[in-house]
Structure 1
Amino acid sequence: MSLHRLSEFEGLAGLKVVRDSAFAVTGKLSTPLDDLCVPLRSENYLGEVNGSDRVAAVITTVALSEGVDPRLGLAIAADPDAAHSEVHAQCAKLRDKELRAIPNRIDSSADIDPGAHIAPYGVEIGPRCYIGPGAVVRPGTAIEHDSIIHSGTSIGGPGFNTGFIGGRRRIVPQLGGVRVGPFVELLSNCCVARSLFGGNTVIGEETVADNLVYIAHDVQIGRRVQICALVNVLGRTVVGDSAYLGPSAVIRNGLEIGAGAKVSMGAVVTENVEPGATVTGNFAISHERFLARLRTIRKEDP
C-alpha cells in the first residue's frame, strides 16, 4: 500500500493539521502494523501513543495535542474518532483503486464452478484449488494451493466495524485482505472477513471449518485447526496450531487461543486460553473447574 500524508486530509471532518507527516495505514494502538495513523481521545492512552514505535501520526483534541511527542505527525479535530473514520474511508477508496490495477492470478489447474463469483481483479487462486457453486471470493484474497471452498462461502467481504462517516453511523470499509493457506477446507456458508486496516486475515495450512463458521477481520488461525459448525471467531483473535473450537463456540475479540487448546461445545470464551488447555461453559473456564462446579450444583438439587 502507498504512503499517505496528513495534509492530504486537511479539513475532512474538521481536521486541522498541526505537524504534517507520512503514514501507511490508519489503525488503532492494538493494530500490529507499522506507520500507523491513530486516534487519541483520552489522556489515559497518551503515554502508550508516545512510546509506540508503530505510530507515525495522531489525530486528537486541542486539549491533548500539547502532550503528543514532537516526533509524531499531529492533527486536531473536535471528534478524533469521527475524523479518523473519515480519513480511513478515504484511504479505503485509494486502496480499492490500487486493487483494481492488480490482475487476477488464477492457476489453470484450479476448478472453479460456473456458479461461483470471483472478483475480476486482485484475487490469487493457486494450483488444484476448488471453488464451489455460489462461493464468493472478493478482491484482496489469496487462496493457496490444494484448498477447497465449498458452496455459499464468502471470503474477503467486510467485517462488522462501525464509525461515523459523513455524519452517519456506517460500516467502516476494510483495507486489508485474506490469505487462505494450502490444503484448507471451508464447508458451506462460511464467512471470512478481510482485515480492517491492512495485512491479512489468515487461515493456516490444513485448517478445516464446518458449515456456517464466521471468521472476523484480522483473525490469525494457525495450522491444522478444527473449527466446528456455527463457531464465531471475533476480530483480532489468534488461534494456535492444532486447536479445536467446538460447535457454536464464541471467541471474544482480541484473544489468544493456545496451540492444542480445546474450546468445548457452546463455550463463550472471554479470556486467553493457555496452550493445551480445555475450557467449557458460559463464560468459559477450565473444563475441570466447570465439572467440579456442576457436581456441586447437582448435589444441591432436591
Structure 2
Amino acid sequence: MALIHPTAVVDAAAELDSSVRVGPYAVIGPHVRIGAGSDIGPHCVVGGRTTIGQHNRFFQFSSIGAVPQDMSYGGEPTELVIGDHNTVREFCTLNLGTLKEEGVTRIGSHNWIMAYVHVAHDVRIGDRTVLANGATLAGHVHVGDWATVGGLTGVHQFVHIGAHAMIGFQGHVAQDVPPFMTVDGNPLQARAVNMTGLKRRGFTDERTAVIRRMHKLLYRSSLPLAEAVEAIAALKGSEPSADGDIAVMLDFLAGAKRGIVR
C-alpha cells in the first residue's frame, strides 16, 4: 500500500505505486496515476487525467491537474503528463491541456519548479529547466531543455523559449527567445550568450565560440533575420563538435511563431 496519511482523500480508482507518499489533507482524484517514489505534500490537490512519473516531489498547497483557465474548455478528457525527478514547490498550479493543441500539458524530467509558478494549458516543458518563483507560463508556451525562467517573469501564450536560454528577473516575454541566449529587461532585449550556463553544462571552448558567432550574426551584424539564418547555416562544418548546436538554433528559428526577441 502507498503511504497515505489518514486525513488524505484518495479516490479508490486512483493508481498509486506502493512507494508513493501522500501527506495530510491531500486530495487525489480518480483519473490520477503516480509512479514509484513520488511524494505528494500536505494539502496538495491532484486531479484530472494526470500522470506523474517516478521520484517527483510536490510541496504543500499545489494544484496539479485542474481544468484549464480557458473559457472554451468544455470538460473534454484532456491530460497533464509529468516525467520523473521533478521538484514542484509551494502553491504551484499545473493545468490540463485543451483540444486547441494535442490535449496534453507536458512536463519532462529533472525540472526545478519554484513557488507560485503557473503552468497553463498545453504548455510543453523539456528537461532540467528552472522556473523561478512566480514565473507564469501562458497557454501553449514551449520551454526547451536546460532553460531558466527568472522570478516574476510572464511569458505570453504561444511563445517558445529555446534550450539553454536564460530569462532574467521579471521579464516580459512576448516573443520567442532563441537557444543559448540571455535576455532581460522590459521591453525584453537579448544581452549575450548564456556563458555561465553553458560552462556549467560542460560546453567546450570550441562549441561556445561557434555559439558566440551565432549570437553576433543574430544581434550584432545588422543583417535581416533571413540573411542571418543563412549565415548561421553556413557555419556548419566549421567546428564539427558544434554542428548539433547549429542545428538546434536553425530548427528553433524555423519554427518561431511570434518572431524572436531581437
TM bucket (normalised to shorter chain) is: 0.5 to 0.7
Residue 245 of structure 1 pairs with residue 245 of structure 2: no
Partners in 2 of 1:173 and 1:122 — Cα distance? 14
Asked whether the equivalents of residues 214 and 233 of structure 1 are also in contact (C-alpha less than 8 Å), the reply is yes
Residue 190 of structure 1 pairs with residue 92 of structure 2: yes
Equivalence map 1:138-153=2 (5 Å)? 138-153=47-62
Partners in 2 of 1:152 and 1:249 — Cα distance? 21
* RMSD, aligned CA: 1.5
Shift of 1:199: 3.2
Partners in 1 of 2:163 and 2:126 — Cα distance? 8
* Deviation readout 1:232-268 (Å, 9 max, x if unpaired): 0110011000000000011111011000000110000
TM-score by length of structure 2 reads 0.66
Query: Structure 1 residues 109 and 248, CA, compared in 2 at 3 Å: closer, same or farther?
Result: same
Aligned residue type for 2:18: S
Q: Which residue of 1 aligns with 2:70?
A: 161
Structure with the larger strand share: 1
Aligned residue type for 1:284: L
Asked whether the equivalents of residues 149 and 168 of structure 2 are also in contact (C-alpha less than 8 Å), the reply is yes
Asked whether the equivalents of residues 263 and 278 of structure 1 are also in contact (C-alpha less than 8 Å), the reply is yes
- In the alignment, which of 222, 228, 232 is matched to residue 136 of structure 2? 232
Asked whether the equivalents of residues 161 and 172 of structure 1 are also in contact (C-alpha less than 8 Å), the reply is no
**Unmatched tracts of structure 2, length 5 or more:** 1-11, 193-262
Shift of 1:174: 5.0
Shift of 1:281: 1.5
Partners in 1 of 2:141 and 2:173 — Cα distance? 11
Q: Which residue of 2 aligns with 1:269?
A: 173
Any runs of at least 4 consecutive aligned residues in structure 1 with deviations exceeding 2 A, and if so which? Answer: 171-175
TM-score by length of structure 1 reads 0.57
Partners in 2 of 1:257 and 1:149 — Cα distance? 24
Partners in 2 of 1:247 and 1:235 — Cα distance? 18
Helix, strand or coil for the counterpart of 1:286? Answer: strand
* Deviation readout 1:196-250 (Å, 9 max, x if unpaired): 1153211110001110000000000000000000000110011000000000011
Aligned residue type for 2:135: V
Partners in 1 of 2:176 and 2:76 — Cα distance? 26
Q: Which residue of 1 aligns with 2:188?
A: 284
Shift of 1:104: 2.0
* Deviation readout 1:140-181 (Å, 9 max, x if unpaired): 001100000110001111222124xxxxxxx65453111111
Query: Structure 1 residues 135 and 208, CA, compared in 2 at 3 Å: closer, same or farther?
Result: same
* Deviation readout 1:44-80 (Å, 9 max, x if unpaired): xxxxxxxxxxxxxxxxxxxxxxxxxxxxxxxxxxxxx
Partners in 2 of 1:262 and 1:126 — Cα distance? 31
Helix, strand or coil for the counterpart of 1:128? Answer: coil
Helix, strand or coil for the counterpart of 1:230? Answer: coil
Partners in 2 of 1:124 and 1:199 — Cα distance? 17
Partners in 1 of 2:15 and 2:69 — Cα distance? 28
Aligned residue type for 2:15: R
Q: Which residue of 1 aligns with 2:77?
A: 175
Partners in 1 of 2:160 and 2:77 — Cα distance? 23
* Deviation readout 1:75-107 (Å, 9 max, x if unpaired): xxxxxxxxxxxxxxxxxxxxxxxxxxx932100
Shift of 1:115: 1.3
Q: Which residue of 1 aligns with 2:28?
A: 118
Asked whether the equivalents of residues 173 and 196 of structure 1 are also in contact (C-alpha less than 8 Å), the reply is no
Partners in 1 of 2:75 and 2:33 — Cα distance? 21
Aligned residue type for 1:180: I
Q: Which residue of 1 aligns with 2:250?
A: none
Percent identity at matched positions? 28
Asked whether the equivalents of residues 117 and 134 of structure 1 are also in contact (C-alpha less than 8 Å), the reply is yes
Shift of 1:282: 1.9
